[in-house]
Chains A and B, each alone.
Chain A
Amino acid sequence: MRLLTAILTLLASVYTFAADSDRPQFTFTAIPDQNEAELVRRFQQVAEYLGEELGADVKYIPVKSYPAAITAFRNNQVQLAWFGGLSGVQARKAVPGSEAIAQGYEDQFFKTYLIAHRDAGLEASDEFPKAIAGKTLTFGSKGSTSGRLMPEFYIREAFNEAPREVFSRVGFSGDHSRTIALVQSGAYEVGAVNYAVWDKAVASGEVDTDLVSVIWTTPTYADYQWTVRGDVDEQFGPGFKEKLTRALLNLEDESILQSFPRSGFVPADNDTYQAIENTAKSIGLLDDF
């Protein structure tokens, strides 16, 4: 019985911090496109910054997959999210009235790198490297813009065939950090990776550039953005969306910006991503048959 009392008190104490408060809490998430620890570090800083700027209780919740981020956004479990180009398009379709409000400066001209393991014997070139046919290839997440949509588009354009016809094996690593790790370990010969994640990993010495190197760069396209639900003003008071947009555009904290890595945020709107939507449709990732 004494054991039971002990367990009871322990659990009751845990219960108190699990309980929800009544105050509406502003919550946001981000697509899990890289190493989770890094994301948590980055977005907890963002949460603190937004909390101060908005004078509200702001919380970041990590999710395990791209669709989980979209689902949380649709169910109003989060009101704001850092989406990729394609996941943003999907999310705004799922929540009518939602808007892209800001993108990173670099996101206006984003790129994908094709990287290859040394043993694959591929040379860097400006032309699309047709020699990758027959190798093994890993994308990032299935719903990633830079890790799947854009590279798949250029692969289809070059070979006029689906990736699984072109390569001997096609995989989905789940995120960009994992793509780099898998190509470096030799599990895949070629990988498609977000250029910003690659450059940062190279700069911080996480990549053995003797083993893996960039062999091709895609033309530029629009990518990541902050998307907010249309009903935030009703939930958090009039003018909230505007205040939020201003806070994001004015974000100048060096350590936060470097963690993205972005040099700053600039305005964006839904039309910015029309080209992404068209590309996704053209390769059958969004319903169009």
Chain B
Amino acid sequence: MSTAIGFLTQTRSLRKLTFYFALLAVACLALADIDISTGSPGHELWLMGRGLLTPQVPDWQQWLDAVIYTLTFSLQGVVLAAAVGFLFAVYYHLTWVRVVAALLRSVHEVFWALIFIQIFGISTLAGVLAIVLPFSGTMAKVYGEQLEEIDSRPARAVHDRAESGLSHFFYTRLPLALHAMRNYTAYRMECAIRSSVVLGFIGLPTLGFHLETALRTGEYSAASALLFTLLALIYSLRYWFRARLLWVLVPLAFFVRPVSGDWHSANFAQFLRDCIPAPLREDWALEKSGRWLLWLGEQIGAGAWNTVLLAQIVLVLTGLFALLTSTMNSSHFVSGWRRRLGDGFLLVLRSLPEYLLNFIFLIVLGPSMLPAILAMTLHNGAIIGHLLGKHSDEVAPAVMESGPLSRFAYFYVPTLYQRFLAYCFYRWEIIIRETAMLGVLGIPTLGFYIDSAFEFLRFDVALILIAASAVLTLCADSIARRLRRQFLPAY
């Protein structure tokens, strides 16, 4: 009886929680700028569609070079990040390790790249570091949680006098988590390929470099060839990203594209000096410093406001999209070729970086928040939809026969709702981080002001704004954790 009451009150509170999030999103939507400002989006769409059907590589040598850079950046990045992340995970019980990991992943790889390009020039080192830092923070968290979730009995059983840390760890805890960790590393490799493509958009020599050119100049045949290359790289991962091959591939990656950067100590000293806030560096008078602070405060205020506004809309739409599309990959609704088709669709959507999607939607729909909303909803929704659908296979089919609609409303959603919310909360901090970053493309979130600061070589301002975006991400992370603990104790 008491459990039944507990269940009822909990569903009610989940309902309320959902209601408040939705209400907030509707309020944000009312305030957001979501115009379609191009006169005839249909024409551009038609050109893109035609390009999609007629892919063409204009220069094969350039193409091969870009593919190699994309692969080496991601491979080097993931391997190094896995090593650092693993080290962090072993000591994940220490607070300072958790804090460092959280700080590393709270800054988007595009922002890391903008910083490292200033220090090391446009070089492989800048690109690889931009992937390694945030990825190691994320991998530390997931590895750490995977190690916490394992059965602790073996560890407790070997509880004799020599309770030495490392060998204890390697024999009693690591083997149990290893499988999950390997799967997760493979998933991160997919993310790393996406990231290295995105880094191309800001100037590193990966596929994204040429993709940006092709999209910007309307050469959609060249763009679609690069797009298919990206999909092929990600799809083929399952065949070559394997432990046995990695012993060869990783040294090969470091041999083919050695990690190197342009290092000039004088430049670095200058960069560090430029990172000191201008009023202190230039010793400005109080009044002038006040004007500077006011100007900076305006940017933080406007940027943070727009970032949160956009992220809350995206969070709810992502959830909605994920809930609906997860049925395309769920044994409760589809099977056979239709399911493979549905899951294939989700995988393709997931493979396209939100930066790229936003770039394409901007061309079609014109400048407003709408392209970013669509891009992030599709990308994040597909990720959650795929996972949720796969998870639903573990749930026993409904006892009562019913049509798909009522099965969805009265069986599928209620049984999976907690898991669904857990996924959404996990994704929240990522959505905030991405929203801030997409400002680089012109929507007035924090990224817009960060990009402007880099444009005028105001590194002090850029760093402060990046810190502000990191704080937003950390806030979302901490609120999500609290909500999860309160509403979803099982997750």
**Does B44 reach chain A (CB closer than 8 Å)?**
yes
A-side interface residues, number (CB < 8 Å) = 49
Tell me the complex Cα distance, A76–B262, Å: 9
Q: How far is the CB of B43 from chain A (nearest CB, A)?
A: 8
Contact with B along A252-283 (1 / 0, CB 8 A): 00000000000000000000000000000000
Q: Is the CB of B37 within 8 A of A187?
A: yes
**Does A44 reach chain B (CB closer than 8 Å)?**
no
Residue of A nearest to B294 (CB): A289
**Does A65 reach chain B (CB closer than 8 Å)?**
yes
Query: Most A CB atoms within 10 A — which of B209, B291, B454?
Result: B454
Tell me the complex Cα distance, A172–B448, Å: 10
Q: Is the CB of A35 within 8 A of B217?
A: yes
Residue of B nearest to A143 (CB): B455
Q: Is the CB of A64 within 8 A of B201?
A: yes
**Does A286 reach chain B (CB closer than 8 Å)?**
yes
Q: How far is the CB of A281 from chain B (nearest CB, A)?
A: 12
Query: Most A CB atoms within 10 A — which of B289, B366, B452?
Result: B366
**Does A130 reach chain B (CB closer than 8 Å)?**
no
Contacts of A181 in B (CB 8 A): 218
Query: A71-B121, A75-B262, A286-B456 given as contacts; is B256 within 8 A of A15 (CB)?
Result: yes
Partner of A187, one of B118, B121, B291, B367: B367
Partner of B454, one of A64, A67, A178, A185: A67
**Does B354 reach chain A (CB closer than 8 Å)?**
no
Tell me the complex Cα distance, A285–B453, Å: 10
**Does A210 reach chain B (CB closer than 8 Å)?**
no
Contacts of A245 in B (CB 8 A): none
Q: Is the CB of A15 within 8 A of B255?
A: yes
Q: Which of B273-290 contact A (CB under 8 A)?
A: 278, 282, 284, 288-289
Contacts of B68 in A (CB 8 A): 11, 14
Q: Which of A178-202 contact B (CB under 8 A)?
A: 178, 181-182, 185-188
Partner of B278, one of A65, A68, A284, A287: A287
Contacts of B278 in A (CB 8 A): 287
**Does B484 reach chain A (CB closer than 8 Å)?**
no
**Does B109 reach chain A (CB closer than 8 Å)?**
no
Q: Is the CB of A66 within 8 A of B455?
A: yes
Q: How far is the CB of A173 from chain B (nearest CB, A)?
A: 9
Contacts of A174 in B (CB 8 A): 216
Q: Is the CB of A142 within 8 A of B451?
A: yes
Residue of B nearest to A175 (CB): B216
Contacts of A185 in B (CB 8 A): 38-40, 44, 366
Q: How far is the CB of A229 from chain B (nearest CB, A)?
A: 12
**Does A233 reach chain B (CB closer than 8 Å)?**
no
Size category of the B interface is 35 or more
Q: Is the CB of A64 within 8 A of B457?
A: no
Tell me the complex Cα distance, A36–B289, Å: 40
Q: Is the CB of A64 within 8 A of B256?
A: no
Q: How far is the CB of B247 from chain A (nearest CB, A)?
A: 11
Q: Is the CB of B292 within 8 A of A289?
A: yes
Q: Is the CB of A37 within 8 A of B217?
A: yes
Contact with B along A231-266 (1 / 0, CB 8 A): 000000000000000000000000000000000000
Contacts of A285 in B (CB 8 A): 456
Contacts of B256 in A (CB 8 A): 11-12, 14-15, 18
Tell me the complex Cα distance, A94–B264, Å: 14
Contacts of B270 in A (CB 8 A): 94
Contacts of B216 in A (CB 8 A): 36, 174, 178
Partner of B122, one of A18, A37, A72, A177: A72
Partner of B455, one of A64, A138, A142: A142
Query: A11-B256, A171-B367, A286-B456 given as contacts; is B202 within 8 A of A65 (CB)?
Result: yes
Residue of B nearest to A11 (CB): B256
Residue of B nearest to A64 (CB): B203
Contacts of A77 in B (CB 8 A): 121-122, 262
Q: How far is the CB of B73 from chain A (nearest CB, A)?
A: 14
Residue of B nearest to A185 (CB): B38
Residue of A nearest to B218 (CB): A181
Query: A37-B213, A74-B267 given as contacts; is B288 within 8 A of A94 (CB)?
Result: no
Q: Is the CB of B264 within 8 A of A76?
A: yes
Tell me the complex Cα distance, A90–B457, Å: 8
Contacts of A169 in B (CB 8 A): 33, 37, 367
Residue of B nearest to A7 (CB): B252
Q: Is the CB of B203 within 8 A of A63?
A: yes
**Does B393 reach chain A (CB closer than 8 Å)?**
no
Contacts of B366 in A (CB 8 A): 182, 185, 187
Partner of A75, one of B121, B252, B458: B121
Q: Is the CB of B39 within 8 A of A94?
A: no
Q: Is the CB of B457 within 8 A of A94?
A: yes
**Does A227 reach chain B (CB closer than 8 Å)?**
no
**Does A213 reach chain B (CB closer than 8 Å)?**
no
**Does A8 reach chain B (CB closer than 8 Å)?**
yes
**Does A103 reach chain B (CB closer than 8 Å)?**
no
Q: How far is the CB of B243 from chain A (nearest CB, A)?
A: 15
Query: A68-B117, A75-B121, A75-B262 given as contacts; is B39 within 8 A of A186 (CB)?
Result: yes
Q: How far is the CB of B442 from chain A (nearest CB, A)?
A: 6
Q: Is the CB of B203 within 8 A of A65?
A: yes
**Does A80 reach chain B (CB closer than 8 Å)?**
no
Tell me the complex Cα distance, A86–B403, Å: 66
Residue of A nearest to B281 (CB): A287
Partner of B209, one of A64, A178, A289: A64
Tell me the complex Cα distance, A143–B117, Å: 18
Q: Is the CB of A289 within 8 A of B291?
A: yes
Q: Is the CB of A75 within 8 A of B267?
A: yes
**Does B248 reach chain A (CB closer than 8 Å)?**
yes
**Does A46 reach chain B (CB closer than 8 Å)?**
no
Q: Is the CB of A70 within 8 A of B37?
A: no
Residue of A nearest to B262 (CB): A75
Query: A94-B457, A174-B216, A187-B367 given as contacts; is B37 within 8 A of A72 (CB)?
Result: no
Tell me the complex Cα distance, A10–B451, Å: 38
Query: A4-B248, A65-B203, A186-B37 given as contacts; is B122 within 8 A of A289 (CB)?
Result: no
Tell me the complex Cα distance, A75–B271, Å: 11
Residue of A nearest to B33 (CB): A169
Some 11 contacts from A to B, beta carbons below 8 A apart, are: A64-B202, A65-B202, A68-B203, A75-B121, A77-B121, A90-B457, A169-B33, A169-B367, A185-B38, A186-B37, A287-B278
Q: 7 smallest A-B Cβ distances: which pairs? A: A186-B39, A64-B203, A187-B366, A75-B121, A289-B291, A142-B455, A289-B292
Beyond A18-B65, A72-B121, 4 additional pairs, beta carbon < 8 A: A15-B255, A67-B455, A68-B203, A289-B292
